[in-house]
Amino acid sequence: MSCLEIESIPAMYREMGISEKVYAYGEAVWRSLKDRWEAVDALSEYNQLKVIQAMQKNRVSEACLLGTTGYGYNDLGRETLERVYADVFHTEDALVRPQITCGTHALALALMSNLRPGDELLSPVGKPYDTLEEVIGIRPSKGSLKEYGIDYRQVDLLEDGSFDYEGIRRAVNSKTRLVTIQRSKGYQTRPTLSVKQIGELIAFIKNLKPDVICMVDNCYGEFTETVEPSHAGADLVVGSLIKNPGGGLAPIGGYLAGKKECIENAAYRLTSPGLGREVGASLNALGAFYQGLFLAPSVTANALKSAIFAANLYEKLGFAVVPNGRESRHDIIQAVTFGDPEGVIAFCQGIQQAAPVDGYVTPEPWDMPGYDSPVIMAAGAFVSGSSIELSADGPIKPPYAVYFQGGLTWQHGKLGILKTLQNLVEKEIIMKDFDKRNL
């Protein structure tokens, strides 16, 4: 790169509204992260090889990229893709469908297909993500598990974020049929669970009741480690294709990977008893599903770099961040606590200002379906609602934390974070002498 080109990069940031002080501060933080970048690149390389190996093993061909219509019988691409997912996630079987509309739908499908009236669902990691409250019936809703006579019990994490093993021991009983473990933090400031921690929890629960189904909500966690929760004993892992595994290309969809019986149950619930997985046309989605999965390890690595950058940048400014700037990563979400709604709103508006789509829009909090408080969401995405693309959101309630994730490229993630800081400085939420703090 010529000297002229190098010098033009700060100038481009200035043209995009980033002041010299904000840019210089961001560069100082970024240059301190060389070792972290090398580790993320190594992770990405391993997972890339894993995905290619699964595609080659299952003889993915050009014909697999073509779709079907109508009933979708004998869909070669759909059936091959599900075998690829089963190999990537180290499971007996998988269900990967555009008919699964989102992560919440995938989780609801897994729960409703593998629980029966009189069963009990247990969460040993505290309250699940907000949108699952109505699925379970914690908040009354039509069609909830509670309406079908399925009970729910939860054991909160201890104050230090560890598992309450004695509480779990007391909670597991003869009715406990399925245990749901949310890997990511959701709208909480607790640590994300590592695969190792999840494996230890599953081993403990299986020792108490060997026949219980252990399901992991894997949303935001795929490809952030070299292994997935299914490698550590999970009977079922569930996620969304417009998060990590879709690589930013999948236009819709979700996946379930796990024990054959659990997947078969889900297939019959998704379509109809007697039909199951044999129907469900893939239309023209398969090419994006395959290519998205192929890109997922590198795209997830870019999101991890963006999250690490955000953690270090805001931690050095004195804000509480989860995880902190030095901890290992087990999902792509970065929580930053501001303590007031103005900080959350300013951060999200900064992310929107960096968007390639709808970058001129100003997001505001609103009463979104499925949430118990106003929520602000920022995302100028090529796929609507895609959390693997640069985005940020948060509920407008204490502790007033924002949850940042995504970035198809590290360069976009960097711009987004600098935009959030610039916005906070201009609104005087962060003092203009921030650059004098110790780095």
Q: Which domain holds residue 350?
A: 3-46+297-436
Q: Which pLDDT tens digit goes with each residue over 111-136?
A: 999 999 999 999 999 999 888 999 99
The arithmetic mean of pLDDT across residues 94-120, rounded, is 98
Angle at 317 between CA 315 and CA 318, to 5 degrees: 70
Give this prediction's pTM.
0.94
Domain match, 38 and 108 both: no
Q: The CATH number of the domain where 30 resides is what?
A: 3.90.1150.60
Domain match, 172 and 267 both: yes
Beta carbons of 153 and 120 less than 8 angstroms apart:
yes
Domain match, 230 and 267 both: yes
Domain match, 79 and 100 both: yes
Domain match, 394 and 268 both: no
Domain match, 302 and 289 both: no
Q: What is the mean pLDDT of the chain?
A: 94
Strands in 176-182's sheet, in edge-to-edge order, are 93-97, 254-258, 236-240, 213-217, 176-182, 120-123, 151-154
Residue 180 within any structural domain of the chain: yes
Domain match, 117 and 257 both: yes
pLDDT (0 to 100) of residue 358: 95
Residue 181 within any structural domain of the chain: yes
Residue 79: in which H helix or E strand, if any? helix 76-88
Residue 253 within any structural domain of the chain: yes
Of 269, 293, 317, the residue at which a domain comes to its end is 293
Taken as a whole, the chain contains a residue count of 439
Domain match, 270 and 121 both: yes
Residue 59 within any structural domain of the chain: no
Q: Which pLDDT tens digit goes with each residue over 280-327?
A: 999 999 999 999 999 999 999 999 999 999 999 999 999 999 999 999
pLDDT (0 to 100) of residue 438: 43
Residue 54 within any structural domain of the chain: no
Of 245, 278, 293, the residue at which a domain comes to its end is 293
pLDDT higher than 60, residue 439:
no
